[in-house]
Structure 1
């Protein structure tokens, strides 16, 4: 069962986020970027690379810059009511944001005589060249096959941490080998490769700030030992849709997720707790930090 579309004066904006993963000596790590302290939304928060759909993210079927047809991408995304054109735009937006925000380019040269240069591609974007023009100039094909749909998060009608509402599709992907992630010093000001559980421990201790979708997503990822396990899990299930429902219990802010007795959708969407409480400037399960991993 999936959450019903929200009713609000502001409809959520389509957006995409990519959870980039790598295997390290101490286990799997995830990439987090810190938003600028003066950002209009989620200021100072550590997030996955992502952003709203742009006009340039809409590619025609059969484009030489895509490695899969629109119909295949729509089938993989598995969303009722989402057109193939929007599905492909979500994949493209996730790949574009990865390049813009942290410099990682999930693409391949169209011909054998070309060399993939992520730094050059990002420099062109920062110099004002349009994303599609950059792909054309460098003869690149986007690796949509590298992305696996993971979850869909819709901002609550009454947001707790943002001023805008988004309908964000989270994709998981293995970080490309031989490339180095770097924040852009504009939208993002820090780059952090970290184990999911360690990130949550740092959040608990006040070292970093996270938003509820990142908290719940990191708790979910902490259950996997390797990138391959995450990608395999993503291939075996339909991405859950999570429309949190927020309310105030006295002076305590509570965010409920599908499966909670107070949520309209009774079927659980995620492992772990079905609600978070906001106390001492942190979101935690009612039964404490360790309940994130139960």
Structure 2
């Protein structure tokens, strides 16, 4: 997880997961593997297969950009333009099969910043190196934390919810996917 810098307008000083929006290059970037069948099927209920792939690629890219961690498999280094250039220069292709889709959340109406986020998890063993932690500066501290310690941090409520979901999913991997949103002024969690 990482702590957002104090100067950020949105979620300043909060501990969050790496993340962000899909970029154009995420729609056509090469990958070493495809999404696992279960994650692909869950995402297919919400988006097209090409958008599902772009969501997974964005998760891998944003993790790399914000933390320096490479969720990939070795591949010949290639010259690629755009946001994937540094990732590919390390001799890696994204490993989408290592991702598990764990939750979706939509920010309540009326907030200055809104998102329709998909959350993924991956086993740390899928990283090319667990020790190469650096980042773009968006996160002023990056740390590996046990779930119990992470829950004690200053977290946005959705991050706390997703941490609880990850803990549950580690015990029950095939549990239904939670979808968190606001309906008629109340937070609703439904399961897909």
> Which category describes the TM-score, using the shorter chain as reference length?
0.7 to 0.9
Verify: 1:67 aligned to 2:33, yes or no. Answer: yes
Other-structure match for 1:193: 144
Gap change, CA 1:43 and 1:246, over 3 Å in 2: farther
Show the 5 A alignment for 1:87-102.
Answer: 87-102=52-67
Q: Is residue 70–residue 87 contact of structure 2 (8 Å, CA) maintained in 1?
A: no
Which protein has the larger Cα radius of gyration, Structure 1 or Structure 2?
A: 1
Verify: 1:141 aligned to 2:93, yes or no. Answer: yes
Verify: 1:165 aligned to 2:134, yes or no. Answer: no
Quote how far apart the aligned CAs of 1:269 are.
4.0
Per-residue CA deviations over 1:222-258 (Å, capped at 9, x if unaligned) read: 447xxxx36x61xx244221113585xxxxxxx6333
Show the 5 A alignment for 1:124-273.
Answer: 130-134=82-86, 137=89, 140-159=92-111, 163-175=112-124, 176=127, 178-180=129-131, 182-184=133-135, 186-200=137-151, 202=152, 208-223=153-168, 229=170, 233=173, 236-245=174-183, 256-258=187-189, 268-269=190-191
Distance 2:51 2:21 in 1: 12
Quote how far apart the aligned CAs of 1:154 are.
0.8
Distance 1:196 1:152 in 2: 20
Other-structure match for 1:16: none
Gaps of 5+ in 1: 1-31, 115-120, 203-207, 248-254, 259-267, 271-294
Q: Is residue 183–residue 190 contact of structure 1 (8 Å, CA) maintained in 2?
A: no
Q: Is residue 102–residue 182 contact of structure 1 (8 Å, CA) maintained in 2?
A: yes
Verify: 1:80 aligned to 2:32, yes or no. Answer: no
The root-mean-square deviation of aligned C-alpha atoms, in Å, is 3.3
The alignment of Structure 1 onto Structure 2 pairs a total of residues equal to 190
Gap change, CA 1:223 and 1:72, over 3 Å in 2: closer
Other-structure match for 1:289: none
Distance 2:47 2:39 in 1: 8
Q: TM-score, normalised by structure 2?
A: 0.81
Q: Is residue 107–residue 182 contact of structure 2 (8 Å, CA) maintained in 1?
A: yes
Q: Is residue 77–residue 87 contact of structure 1 (8 Å, CA) maintained in 2?
A: no
Verify: 1:54 aligned to 2:23, yes or no. Answer: yes
Per-residue CA deviations over 1:75-124 (Å, capped at 9, x if unaligned) read: 3443424111211110100000111111110111235xx7xxxxxx9xx9
Secondary structure of the corresponding residue to residue 179 of structure 1: coil
Q: Is residue 197–residue 222 contact of structure 1 (8 Å, CA) maintained in 2?
A: no
Distance 2:104 2:115 in 1: 10
Gap change, CA 1:141 and 1:184, over 3 Å in 2: closer
Verify: 1:38 aligned to 2:7, yes or no. Answer: yes
Per-residue CA deviations over 1:178-202 (Å, capped at 9, x if unaligned) read: 32253526211012222222332x3
Distance 1:148 1:158 in 2: 30
Q: Is residue 183–residue 189 contact of structure 1 (8 Å, CA) maintained in 2?
A: no
Distance 2:149 2:84 in 1: 37
Quote how far apart the aligned CAs of 1:136 are.
5.3
Q: TM-score, normalised by structure 1?
A: 0.55
Distance 1:75 1:36 in 2: 34
